[in-house]
């Protein structure tokens, strides 16, 4: 799971790959139909797709002569779940820090 999560976050780190995911959120698309924010050569686009696939964020399948890309929302949910757990930990720590600061202020004023 951790290795897959590492690959997912690596894939999400690039704005071009995030743009590809945004496009695939609208529905499956053939590789040739995927537009990116900047024009790029097909080998470069294919490399981005490989990174997304390795991250588990997309799946591709051959349909006739075309390769169709699909978004894998369950992988996005896994990354979101990890972030939610981290958020909960940090919010708890900030609440503890806030309580400590209030205690210090009360002692100072008391």
The per-residue pLDDT string of the chain (110 residues; one tens digit each, 9 = 90 and over) reads 568 889 999 999 999 999 999 999 999 999 988 977 778 899 999 999 999 999 999 999 999 999 999 999 888 888 889 889 989 889 888 888 888 888 888 888 87
Residue pair 24/17 in contact (Cβ under 8 Å)? The answer is no
Please give the model's pTM, rounded to 2 decimal places.
Answer: 0.75
* Boundaries of every domain in the chain: 2-109
Alpha-carbon gap, residue 9 to 17, rounded angstroms: 11
Per DSSP, the three-state class of 64 is coil
Element (H, E) at 68: strand 66-71
Q: 2-109 has which fold? A: Arc Repressor Mutant, subunit A (1.10.10)
């Amino acid at each position: 799971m951790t290795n897959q999560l590492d690959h997912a976050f690596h894939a999400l780190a690039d704005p071009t790959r995030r743009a590809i995911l945004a496009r695939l959120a609208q529905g499956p698309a053939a590789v040739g139909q995927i537009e990116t924010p900047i024009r790029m050569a097909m080998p470069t686009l294919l490399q981005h797709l490989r990174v997304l696939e390795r991250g588990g964020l997309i799946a591709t399948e051959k349909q006739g002569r075309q390769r169709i890309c699909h978004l894998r929302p369950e992988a996005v949910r896994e990354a979101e779940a990890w972030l939610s757990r981290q958020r909960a930990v940090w919010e708890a720590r900030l609440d503890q820090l806030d309580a400590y600061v209030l205690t210090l202020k009360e002692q100072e004023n008391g």
